[in-house]
Amino acid sequence: MKIQSISHEKGVTLVELLVALVIAAITLAGVYRVFISQTRSYAVQDQVVEVQQSVRSAMEIILRDLRMAGFDDDNPTSPYTVPTAITTVGSNTIAVNYEYYNRTLNQYERHEVTYAVNGSSQLTRTLNVTAAVLPVPNPTTEILLDNVGALTFTYGIDSNTDKIMDDQNGDGIINAADYVAAGAVGTATVVAIRVALTGGPNPTNVDVARIVSPRTLVSAVTLRNICLR
């Protein structure tokens, strides 16, 4: 008996293999480009959120100290008074004074807080404490924000001592247009301060720094401790 072996199976030709490899390479390249794009987008969004949160946190600290400007406990046991609420009135720097009770050391203190931007584009907060026992090395400087693009203070003034901010343009509305530059304060009493703070991304990441624009936050605060005197 004669047995014949008949095979109908076909193999893959070299051309078909090359075509399959090319298609796979194109697909992988597309997936890689999407992955890189998503990664960059995530990095940019993360940097945007970081910049916004950093600027907002620094602004909150500034406003907290400005609200305290001129605060005097008026307690007869306190050896300190605050005759001058604002000791430095500048366009890019400010120094405010207030009385503070340190519960840890159980003592009254007078705090002078100065805000400025140093040569490394960092927002600094310098605290100078007047007290019988200093709780920290005096003065102390901390960095609140890196990559600061601008820090600007403008002032709402009271020229007629009525404890109300002057309407500079006479339109009957107190708004941003009524704040004056530091050089125009003169002998008037400062009753409000407007702060504009601009922060940017880390410049070491060139791709992110090129895409993410600086963020500016503007806030105004009324100096209640001065207005209520």
Domain ranges of the chain: 53-227
**3-class DSSP assignment, residue 16:** helix
pLDDT value for 120: 94
Q: Is the pLDDT of residue 11 over 80?
A: no
- Please tell me which residue, 135 or 122, carries the higher pLDDT value: 122
State residue 6's pLDDT score: 54
Give the pTM.
0.80
Q: Is the preceding omega at residue 139 within 30 degrees of 0, hence cis? A: yes
Average pLDDT over residues 193-198: 97
pLDDT over threshold 70, residue 141: yes
pLDDT for position 43: 65
Among 135-139, 165-169, 201-205, 213-217, the range scoring the smallest mean pLDDT is 201-205
Tell me the pLDDT band of 69, cut-offs 50, 70 and 90: very high
* Angle (CA) 130 85 103, round 5°: 40
Exposed/middle/buried for 222, CB within 10 Å: 0-12, 13-18, 19+? middle
More confident residue, 57 or 42: 57
Asked if residue 82 has pLDDT above 80, the reply is yes
Whether the pLDDT of residue 176 is over 70: the answer is yes
Is residue 163 pLDDT above 70, yes or no? yes
* Alpha-helix runs per DSSP H in the chain: 14-68, 206-211, 224-227
Task: Round to whole Å and give the CA distance between 119 and 109.
Answer: 30
**What's the CA gap between 46 and 57, in Å, rounded?**
16
pLDDT in tens, 94-132: 999 999 999 988 899 999 999 999 999 999 999 999 998
- pLDDT-derived band of residue 39, with 50, 70 and 90 as boundaries? low
The answer to whether residue 1 scores a pLDDT higher than 70 is: no
Please say if the pLDDT value at position 40 is more than 90. Answer: no
Instruction: For residue 118, count other CB atoms closer than 10 A to its CB.
Output: 11
Q: What share of the chain is helix, strand, coil (3-state, %, to 5)?
A: 30, 30, 40
The arithmetic mean of pLDDT across residues 18-31, rounded, is: 83
Task: Show the tokens assigned to 81.
Answer: 């008074």
Cα angle 113-83-154, degrees, rounded to a multiple of 5: 55
- Among 45-49, 58-62, 186-190, the range scoring the smallest mean pLDDT is 45-49
Query: Rounded to 10 degrees, what is the CA torsion of 83, 220, 118, 136?
Result: 50
Mean residue pLDDT across the chain: 87
Predicted local confidence at residue 27, as pLDDT: 85
